[in-house]
């Protein structure tokens, strides 16, 4: 078993279990001089000496709860062992090192400073009374200094691990928030698409269905055209709904998923014709030099025209509508003007959706009364995307 696995298991076991294991390990280390045969000229090891050795180890079980007290007890019992008992010596002062390490790790700075000075003094006195050898003194100071350094290193390591864990939690929270925001934006986009498709289709079908009975009595040929328009509008709505639902399916990437394209500018004449067939007179005009704005912008312009015409059919009671698409050098401008009575008492979701769609491409939407205060006008301006080199130059200026 690797050391990393042993450390991980010990950490999961809890601090009390870890302290007990450390005490047992130290007890095994200090027991070795008692079981190893001694030289004949040395006195035999006694149970009293071994009992004092064990008494030095026992406080280590409580080292986290009272590190200073444990160190004092260990040093006191060690002094008794050294000067009052004839027992075998230890290669290293294991219990004192563990207790000093704990003080360096867990005690406050003032306590650490005082305890470090007292420990250094105790080492000087102990070595001076024992052998008075400089080599032993330097070695003792070195090992206790190393224990102190490892204690402080443990604090630094724990702080680093906490910082890493906090950063990981922060990143996870940030990613969760970003995912929720992306999901909210996607739900809003889908809601706009569904609103535009259903609202437009249902509004046209209602208007054409209401006009049908009147046309049956007065102009049967117009009634037949109205019913054909209802059927065509319903089929078109079903196609678009199937496409939307296919996008939402989990297996939308499978070969059986729908592949109908998004609406584009070349679909506007057909849209205008369907509205004209069962509602007000609608004219469509394109000016300027066409410049492909991209599929996303084309779909947005189509949906805006669709929503604007739906509002005219549902609320405006207009007799004529003008749709004008202008391809300018810097932007694409759309204007839908009618001679009706304005948006009426609708919920306003359609106009809000128009503004959101324009803003998604960096554009603006303006709605209000038409020319001379008559009717209603929807104006949308969407800038053309900049070429990649120009985007880079403009981005560099601000840096």
Is the residue at 158 inside a domain?
no
pLDDT tens digits along 374-393: 889 999 999 987 654 444 44
The b/e string for 364-381 (b: 16+ C-beta within 10 A; e otherwise) is ebebeebeeeebbbbbbb
Region 182-188 average pLDDT: 79
Is the residue at 107 inside a domain?
yes
Structural domain ending residue among the three candidates 76, 101, 132: 132
Is the residue at 86 inside a domain?
yes
CATH code of the domain in which 321 resides: 3.30.565.10
Token pair for 254: 């499978």
Is the residue at 250 inside a domain?
no
Mean predicted lDDT score pLDDT of the chain: 79
Write down the pLDDT at residue 379.
94
Structural domain ending residue among the three candidates 132, 166, 193: 132
Is the residue at 392 inside a domain?
yes
pLDDT band at residue 94, thresholds of 50, 70 and 90?
confident
The length of the chain, given as a count of residues: 399
pLDDT tens digits along 357-369: 888 888 999 988 8
The CA distance from 54 to 34, in Å, is 12
Write down the pLDDT at residue 246.
61
Number of structural domains found in the chain: 2
The CA distance from 63 to 106, in Å, is 10
Region 368-374 average pLDDT: 84
Write down the pLDDT at residue 252.
46
Using DSSP's 3-state secondary structure scheme, residue 332 falls into strand
The CA distance from 15 to 6, in Å, is 14
Is the residue at 178 inside a domain?
no
Percent of the chain residues past pLDDT 70, beyond the cut: 76
Q: Which ranges of the chain does DSSP label H, i.e. alpha helix?
A: 3-13, 15-35, 47-57, 67-84, 94-106, 109-130, 134-218, 220-248, 268-278, 295-311, 349-360, 388-397
Region 174-179 average pLDDT: 87
Least confident of 111-115, 237-241, 279-283, 339-343: 237-241
Phi first, then psi: give them for residue 323, nearest 5 degrees: -110, 120
Is the residue at 252 inside a domain?
no
pLDDT band at residue 187, thresholds of 50, 70 and 90?
confident
The CA distance from 359 to 196, in Å, is 17
The CA distance from 61 to 99, in Å, is 10
Q: Is 353 left (phi over 0), alpha (psi -120 to 50) or beta?
A: alpha
Region 120-125 average pLDDT: 83
Contact 24, 18 (CB under 8 A): no
The b/e string for 55-86 (b: 16+ C-beta within 10 A; e otherwise) is bbbebbeebeeebbebbbbbbebbeebeeeee
pLDDT at 397 over 50: no
pLDDT tens digits along 237-294: 766 666 666 655 544 444 444 444 578 888 899 888 888 876 788 999 999 888 888 8
Q: Which has the higher per-residue pLDDT, 358 or 131?
A: 358
Percent of the chain residues past pLDDT 90, beyond the cut: 13
Write down the pLDDT at residue 354.
87
pLDDT band at residue 13, thresholds of 50, 70 and 90?
low
pLDDT at 128 over 90: no
Which residues span the domain enclosing 72?
A: 3-132
pLDDT at 322 over 90: yes
State the DSSP code for 320.
E
The CA distance from 70 to 72, in Å, is 6
The CA distance from 66 to 72, in Å, is 10
pLDDT tens digits along 39-65: 776 767 788 888 888 888 999 998 888
Beta-carbon contacts of 366 under 8 Å, excluding residues fewer than 6 positions away, are 377, 378, 379, 380
Structural domain ending residue among the three candidates 132, 148, 168: 132
pTM for this entry: 0.48
Contact 289, 247 (CB under 8 A): no
Region 293-306 average pLDDT: 87
Is the residue at 227 inside a domain?
no
């Amino acid at each position: 078993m690797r050391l990393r696995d042993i450390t991980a298991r010990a950490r999961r076991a809890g601090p009390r279990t870890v302290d007990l294991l450390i005490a047992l390990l130290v007890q095994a280390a200090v027991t070795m001089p008692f079981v190893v045969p001694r030289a004949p000229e040395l006195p035999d090891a006694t149970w009293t000496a071994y009992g004092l050795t064990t008494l030095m180890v026992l406080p280590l079980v409580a080292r986290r709860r009272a590190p200073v007290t444990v160190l004092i007890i260990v040093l006191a019992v060690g002094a008794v062992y050294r000067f009052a008992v004839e027992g075998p010596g230890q290669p290293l002062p294991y219990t004192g090192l563990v207790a000093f390490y704990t003080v360096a790790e867990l005690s406050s700075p003032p306590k650490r400073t005082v305890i470090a000075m007292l420990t250094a003094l105790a080492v000087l006195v102990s070595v001076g009374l024992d052998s008075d050898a400089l080599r032993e003194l330097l070695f003792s100071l070195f090992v206790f200094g190393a224990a102190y350094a490892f204690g402080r290193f443990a604090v630094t390591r724990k702080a680093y691990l906490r910082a890493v864990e906090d950063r990981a939690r922060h990143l996870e929270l940030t990613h969760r928030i970003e995912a929720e925001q992306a999901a909210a934006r996607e739900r809003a986009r889908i809601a706009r698409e569904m609103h535009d498709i259903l609202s437009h289709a249902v509004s046209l079908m209602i208007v054409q269905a209401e006009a049908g009975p009147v046309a049956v009595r007065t102009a049967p040929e117009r009634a037949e055209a109205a019913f054909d328009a209802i059927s065509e509008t319903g089929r078109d709505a079903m196609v678009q709904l199937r496409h939307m639902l296919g996008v939402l399916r989990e297996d939308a990437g499978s070969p059986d998923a729908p592949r109908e394209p998004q609406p584009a500018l070349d679909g506007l004449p057909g849209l205008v014709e369907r509205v004209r067939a069962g509602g007000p007179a609608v004219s469509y005009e394109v000016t300027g030099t066409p410049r492909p704005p991209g599929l996303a912008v084309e779909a947005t312009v189509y949906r805006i025209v669709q929503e604007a015409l739906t509002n005219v059919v549902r609320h405006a009671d207009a007799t004529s509508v003008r749709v004008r698409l202008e391809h300018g050098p810097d932007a694409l401008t759309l204007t839908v003007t009618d001679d009706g009575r304005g948006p009426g008492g609708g919920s306003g979701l359609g106009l809000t959706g128009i503004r959101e769609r324009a803003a998604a491409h960096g554009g603006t939407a303006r709605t209000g009364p038409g020319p001379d205060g008559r009717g209603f006008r929807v104006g949308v301006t969407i800038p053309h995307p900049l070429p990649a080199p120009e985007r880079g130059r403009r981005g560099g200026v601000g840096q």
